[in-house]
Each structure stands twice: as structure tokens, then as C-alpha cells.
Amino acid sequence: MATTFEVLAEPRRREILDLLRGSERLVGDLATRLDLTQPAVSKHLRVLREAGLVAVRQDAQRRWYRLRPEPLVEVDAWLAPYRRLWADSLDALERHLDRMPDDPETEEHT
């Protein structure tokens, strides 16, 4: 079975998750929005379902797909140190800019 990272490496699967983030959708709706064939979308949905990233609900003959965010916890945990790195860098930039003298030419034009 593929890891969450391997599944998310495919751009079309990320697009599907982006669409499912807002609400449940049918395969046909996803295919139309992504400009893909229904069989292609179904293949991506199967991979996403096997990874636990989407769930399906049967309604008569229709299958509604929805996002399951729980597996994304692994991705979030992996990204946490990088978020801290960016936050630290932005904080350092803010401190640097705060220490810089104001530009007198800029103040004259305001």
C-alpha cells in the first residue's frame, strides 16, 4: 500500500482533495471540473480511498466521495518543523526591518 506522501505526490489527486475539501462530490462532477474522463477519476479515487484519504457513500446508484482529513495528520506533523523555520525567518526579517532607519525621502512624499 502506498504511503500518504506517495499518494499525494500525484497532482491530480491533490486537485481531487481540493475539490472534496468543500463538499461531497460525484465522480462525474469531479471529472467535469478536472477535465478528465470518469475512468481516470475513478482510478485516482480508488488510490485515495485505499490510502484512507477519501470515503464513499452509496446513494442508490450514485457514489458520493468526501475527504477524510485524518491521514493528513502525518503530513502536517512532517511539515511542522518547516513551518517553524519559516516563522523564525519571518520573525528575524521583521526584527531587521524594525531596526532599519526610516527613509527620509519616503516620509517627504507621504
Q: Is residue 109 part of a domain?
A: no
Q: Which domain holds residue 16?
A: 4-67
Q: Are residues 40 and 19 in the same domain?
A: yes
CB atoms within 10 A of CB 101: 5
Q: Is residue 89 part of a domain?
A: yes
Count how many domains the chain has.
Answer: 2
Assess contact for 29 and 45: CB atoms under 8 A.
no
Is the whole-model pTM more than 0.75? no
pLDDT at 98 over 60: yes
Q: How many Å from the N-terminal Cα to the C-terminal Cα in the chain?
A: 61
Q: Are residues 54 and 83 in the same domain?
A: no
Q: pLDDT by residue (tens digit) across 21-80?
A: 999 999 999 999 999 999 999 999 999 999 999 999 999 999 999 999 999 988 888 888
